[in-house]
């Protein structure tokens, strides 16, 4: 193994580890260093498809920031929560088993060798591997079965950078508390603190930083400002928890049902960036504003979330929404809910052998043990516009009479000729198993303009359509610039034992062959 290493841990979940790793990957990559991201274990229902199966969305984002295609080596273990006490275990891209609260011995025995293999694969190919930890760095109740934080730091002999979120409050207490709970050997690995999401003048922190450094002996290597409207996909749905409804008033109002087991909600992120669209994530239909479009997103447990949907009053809301001329889109699990019934005779997803759907599209879903994970390309039939995206689902949807949405022309690079999805007779109810549909700028604008036309509004200018991939590339550079400006990247590089001479700043930097 030849790669140098750097590990980014946090004082807690949702402090910005993922975006810091993405920014560091971008900064080092555009400086000419062959860099790759790595996270041994991710827990998220936001997944991405790559060659070999599925990985956490965060590592796909970090790979893109590095100028790489994502691989299963970058995230060898993905845990997809299905309930409070259980999750599906994805190892090297494929579902292995369902883990309950008493299955950790088996889990570690199966996961750790694959983690070692994946890390070694990356270490042989790259100059630098930037490792992301999970949760908090001082999870003392989990230390004996750790396979994502200090066990990985020791395995990779990695120096550690600890990130804390000052926007949450209590940043100095969280840093000191984390430090105090670390073992002697863990403290030796800890090289520096990075304070994230600061609003204000840096001088306001000087006294606190001085006392922090005196107490711990660990330097603060940077204070990153709060960055709003960063167009980089989130790792998971943590930001949705307790989030208030958007107060933005725009011509097109979109509601996204916040399922308890929501997955791949980043499908709607491109709509959030449209200038004429306001997106609201909503759990309670009674709190929903007047909507033009309602989206049922993906779900890790379709049948359980369909039951919740009915119990919460959403079914009645949908009926009234459609009667009032509203539009409805179901994606993956949401698409399955729109059909006539969901069949699960082998009880792959739940204890219900059969569940009635909402009956809004003439399709039915049959669950099978093998999950489909594929990259697809095709054409949206009503417009002839090209589309691309990815599939992650165990439920096979059969169209029993609805008009199809797409004609798929390619799956994982192989030519095919399949119809996919379903559309109601009036065109206002749409279902698809393809994630990432709204990433396609032409289709996204065509669809929004159809909603606008139904409201009596004219189409938007075609020139305003933004390419999502190019927009993300600009954001990677933007955050890398912020890290270079507000953190001592030369010192961070020295800890990682790589040379740092500043970045050759290029939008869309690529390490791809």
Q: What is the mean pLDDT of residues 270-274?
A: 89
Pair 272, 163 in one domain = no
CATH number of the domain residue 295 falls in: 3.40.50.880
Active site residues: 332, 435
Same domain for 287 and 212? no
Please tell me whether residue 196 adopts helix, strand or coil conformation.
Answer: strand
Q: What pLDDT, on the 0 to 100 scale, is given for residue 105? A: 85
Tell me whether residue 270 is in a domain.
yes
At 101, the pLDDT band (50, 70, 90 cuts) reads confident
- Is residue 87 a part of any domain in this protein? no
Domain CATH number, residue 193: 3.40.50.300
Work out the average pLDDT over 488-495: 96
Task: Print the domain residue range for 35.
Answer: 4-41+60-69+115-231+471-496
Listed in sequence order, the residues at least 6 apart from 210 whose beta carbon sits closer than 8 Å to its beta carbon are: none
Q: What is the pLDDT of residue 463?
A: 53
Give yes or no: residues 412 and 319 share one domain: yes
DSSP string, 160-185: EEEEEEGGGS-HHHHHHHHHHHS-HH
- Digit-coded pLDDT (tens) for 439-490: 999 999 999 999 999 999 988 876 567 778 888 899 999 999 999 999 999 9
What mean pLDDT comes out for the span 170-198? 97
- Res. 365: pLDDT tops 70: yes
Establish if 94 belongs to a structural domain: no
* Cβ neighbours around 115 below 10 Å, total: 25
Distance in angstroms (rounded) separating the CA atoms of residues 189 and 469: 36
Per the DSSP assignment, residues forming a β-bridge with 149 are none
325 and 423 belong to one structural domain: yes
**Do 174 and 317 lie in a common domain?**
no
Planar angle of CA 451, 326, 467, nearest 5 degrees: 35
What's the pLDDT at 492? 97
Query: In terms of domains, do 361 and 447 share one?
Result: yes
93: left (phi over 0), alpha (psi -120 to 50) or beta: left
Is residue 33 domain-resident?
A: yes
The model's pTM is: 0.86
- Identify how many contiguous H helices and E strands the chain contains and give both numbers: 14, 26
pLDDT of residue 87: 87
102 in a domain, yes or no?
Answer: no
Q: What is the mean pLDDT of residues 77-83?
A: 86
Residue 510 lies in a domain: no
pLDDT given for residue 246 in this prediction? 61
pLDDT tier, 361 (very low <50, low <70, confident <90, very high otherwise): very high
Number of domains in the chain: 2
Asked if residue 511 belongs to a domain, the reply is no
Mean pLDDT over residues 81-109, rounded? 85
Q: Which of 56-65, 76-85, 138-147, 307-316 comes out lowest in average pLDDT?
A: 76-85
Lowest mean pLDDT, pick from 7-16, 152-161, 206-215, 503-512: 503-512
Instruction: Identify whether the C-beta of residue 376 lies closer than 8 Å to the C-beta of residue 410.
Output: yes
Strand partners, 297: none
Residues 270 and 300 in one domain: yes
Do 486 and 224 form a contact (C-beta atoms < 8 A)? yes
Q: Mean pLDDT throughout 116-128?
A: 96
Beta bridge partners of 428: none
The answer to whether residues 306 and 430 belong to one domain is yes
Do 475 and 442 share a structural domain?
no
Could you tell me the end-to-end alpha-carbon distance of the chain, in angstroms, rounded to an integer? 22
Same domain, 276 and 348: yes
What's the whole-number mean pLDDT along residues 320-337?
Answer: 96
304-317 residue pLDDT tens: 999 999 999 999 99
Query: What pLDDT, on the 0 to 100 scale, is given for residue 223?
Result: 96
Please give the Cα distance from 256 to 236 (Å, whole number): 15
Token pair for 325:
């001329």
- Please tell me the predicted confidence (pLDDT) of residue 329: 98
Residues 198 and 334 in one domain: no
User: Does 322 reside within a domain?
Assistant: yes
**pLDDT band at 198; cut points 50, 70, 90:** very high
- What pLDDT score was predicted for residue 504? 52
Asked whether residue 236 carries a pLDDT value surpassing 60, the answer given is no
Interval 124-148 mean pLDDT: 93
The confidence band for 507, taking pLDDT boundaries of 50, 70 and 90, is very low
Tokens for 192? 């520096």
Same-domain status, 256 and 282 = yes
Q: Which residues pair with 294 in a beta bridge?
A: 255, 328
């Amino acid at each position: 193994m030849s790669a140098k290493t750097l590990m980014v841990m946090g004082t807690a979940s949702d402090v910005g580890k993922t975006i810091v790793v993405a920014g560091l990957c971008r900064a080092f990559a555009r400086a000419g260093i062959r860099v790759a991201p790595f996270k041994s274990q991710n827990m998220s229902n936001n997944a991405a498809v790559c060659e070999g199966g599925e990985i956490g969305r965060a590592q796909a984002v970090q790979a893109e920031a590095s100028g790489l295609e994502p691989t299963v080596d970058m995230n060898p273990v993905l845990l997809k929560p299905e309930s409070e006490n259980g999750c599906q275990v994805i190892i090297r891209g494929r579902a292995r088993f369902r883990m309950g609260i008493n299955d950790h011995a088996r889990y570690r025995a199966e996961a750790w060798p694959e983690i070692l293999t994946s890390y070694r694969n990356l270490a042989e190919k790259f100059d630098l591997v930037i490792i992301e930890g999970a949760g908090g760095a001082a999870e003392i109740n989990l230390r004996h079965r750790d396979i994502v934080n200090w066990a990985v730091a020791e395995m990779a002999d990695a120096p550690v950078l600890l990130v804390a979120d000052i926007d949450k409050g209590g940043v100095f207490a969280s840093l000191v508390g984390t430090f105090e709970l670390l073992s002697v050997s863990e403290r030796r690995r800890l090289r520096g603190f990075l304070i994230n999401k600061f609003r204000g003048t840096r001088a306001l922190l000087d006294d606190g930083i001085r006392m922090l450094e005196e107490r711990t002996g660990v330097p603060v290597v940077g204070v990153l400002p709060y960055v709003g409207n960063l167009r980089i996909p989130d790792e998971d749905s943590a930001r949705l928890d307790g989030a208030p409804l958007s107060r933005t008033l725009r011509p097109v109002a979109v509601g996204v049902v916040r399922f308890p087991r929501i997955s791949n909600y980043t499908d709607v992120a491109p709509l959030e960036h449209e200038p004429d669209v306001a997106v609201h994530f909503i759990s309670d239909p009674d709190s929903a504003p007047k909507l033009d479009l309602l989206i049922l997103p993906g779900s890790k447990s379709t049948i359980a979330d369909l039951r919740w949907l009915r119990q919460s009053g959403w079914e009645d809301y949908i009926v009234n929404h459609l009667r009032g001329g509203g539009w409805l889109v179901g994606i993956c699990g949401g698409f399955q809910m729109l059909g006539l019934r969901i069949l699960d005779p082998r009880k792959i997803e739940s204890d219900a052998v059969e569940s009635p759907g909402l009956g809004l599209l003439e399709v039915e879903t049959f669950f099978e043990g093998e999950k489909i994970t594929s990259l697809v390309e095709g054409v949206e039939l009503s417009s002839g516009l090209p589309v691309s995206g990815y599939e992650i689902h165990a439920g096979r949807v059969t169209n029993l009479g609805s008009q199809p949405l797409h004609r798929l022309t390619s799956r994982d690079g192989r030519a095919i000729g399949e119809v996919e999805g379903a559309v109601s007779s009036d065109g206002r109810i749409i279902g698809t198993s393809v994630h990432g549909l709204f990433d396609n700028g032409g289709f996204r604008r065509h669809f929004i303009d159809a909603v606008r036309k139904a409201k009596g509004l004219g189409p938007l200018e075609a020139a305003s359509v933004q390419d999502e991939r190019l927009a993300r590339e600009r954001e990677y550079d933007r955050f890398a610039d912020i890290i270079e400006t507000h953190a001592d990247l030369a010192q961070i590089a020295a800890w990682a034992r790589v040379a740092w001479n500043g970045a050759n700043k290029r939008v869309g930097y690529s390490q791809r062959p």
